[in-house]
Amino acid sequence: MVDQVPHFNVLFSSLSAKIALYDSVKNEIATISPGIVLLGADSDKSCIGSKKVQDFTTIPPIDELKKESLLHYCQKNRVRFIVPTRDGELPFWAEHQDFLISNQIGVMISSKSAIQICEDKYLFAKHLKKAPIPAIKTSLSSTSLSSEYDHFVAKERTGTASSTIGINLRQEDLLTHSQKLKRPIFQPQIKGREFSAETWIDKNNRCHGVILRWRTHVIKGESHNSITFKNTAWEKKLVATFNKIEGLKGHILAQVMVDQNEKLHLVEINPRLGGASPLALASGLHSVKWSILEFLKLSNQIPPEPIFKDGLQLIKKKGNVQIQ
């Protein structure tokens, strides 16, 4: 526990069905003070999470929320810190974080420019093409991809809808699939193993450790079976790659492919918690706790070199999450 921490509420936005993540974050903040309560919030009052969490509150949809009404909502509900959990809402929180901070309300969020880079796959690839772990080559044209690859991927330039992604496509099939997309981008299909990397970046742009986990079973883009592992060389490359995007802050989640030649290819960076992040939190990456401590000006309580548990496994089955 941390001494002399005031009582207040933390808003966990876009709760939906993220029960395991909510419970993990609740356990995190409980180690700060019993006087901090985690509110699960969603615009859908009938969402699955509304029936599963102890403290649930409804919040207007992000696209209908003005900063003045947001401030009134936070003050009414004693909210002093916000944890966004969905890609689509990140630009909103980044846009209003200075306003919220000026009213003594913190947000675990990256800068607006960093989020713009991460959410635009073409801009992301251009920005990180020469990073220590380079982003996968990305094109706006289906005919300009290198002939050294046999199969390709077609997906939306922005967004996370896995149902529209075309994978293992031959060159001649790319144009046909792209007609199903609004703003298509094209990439070579990288064959190999995929892992996730999670870190926490403080306000001084310093990464506090990196958690690596193999994604051994993935459904619709979300990991249902993961196991943590160590690779110091990869961790150093990831830190150097994160540093290429100015303004990354808070919990950061990256996806990386390892090809048959052991070369690393950066798939994406998500500046938020993910569905399998309970494994990172359980391993010792106390990102939400550290973000709140930083907001409370208690950074001296944050370890510069945290010690992580290795070999932990997450198994998600029928909506239940086990970490062992």
Would the pLDDT of 163 be above 80?
no
Sheet of 184-188: strand order equals 166-169, 152-156, 184-188
Q: Which homologous superfamily is 114-121+191-323 in?
A: ATP-grasp fold, B domain (3.30.470.20)
Q: Which residues of 7-37 are buried (b: 16+ CB within 10 A; e: fewer)?
A: ebbbbbbbbbebbbbbbbbbbbbeebbeebb
Q: For position 273, what pLDDT does the model report?
A: 97
* Contacting residues for 48 by C-beta, under 8 A, at least 6 apart: 16, 17, 19
Q: What is the dihedral of CA 246, 247, 250, 254, to 10 degrees?
A: -40
Architecture of domain 8-109: 3-Layer(aba) Sandwich (3.40)
**Residue 81, CA distances (Å) to 22, 103, 108, 296 in order:** 15, 11, 8, 10
Backbone angles phi, psi at 106, to 5 degrees: -95, 160
pLDDT: which is higher, 309 or 160: 309
Tens of pLDDT, residues 185-225? 999 999 999 999 999 999 999 999 999 999 876 666 666 78
User: Which sign does the torsion angle of CA 254, 259, 262, 265 carry?
Assistant: negative
Domain ranges of the chain: 8-109, 114-121+191-323, 138-188
Would the pLDDT of 161 be above 80?
no
**Backbone region of residue 279 per phi and psi (left: phi > 0; alpha: psi in -120 to 50; beta: other values):** alpha
127's tokens: 């920005």
Q: For position 298, what pLDDT does the model report?
A: 95
Q: For position 212, what pLDDT does the model report?
A: 97
Would the pLDDT of 47 be above 70?
yes
* Contacting residues for 29 by C-beta, under 8 A, at least 6 apart: 10, 36, 38, 288, 289, 292
Q: To the nearest whole percent, how much of the chain has pLDDT over 90?
A: 81
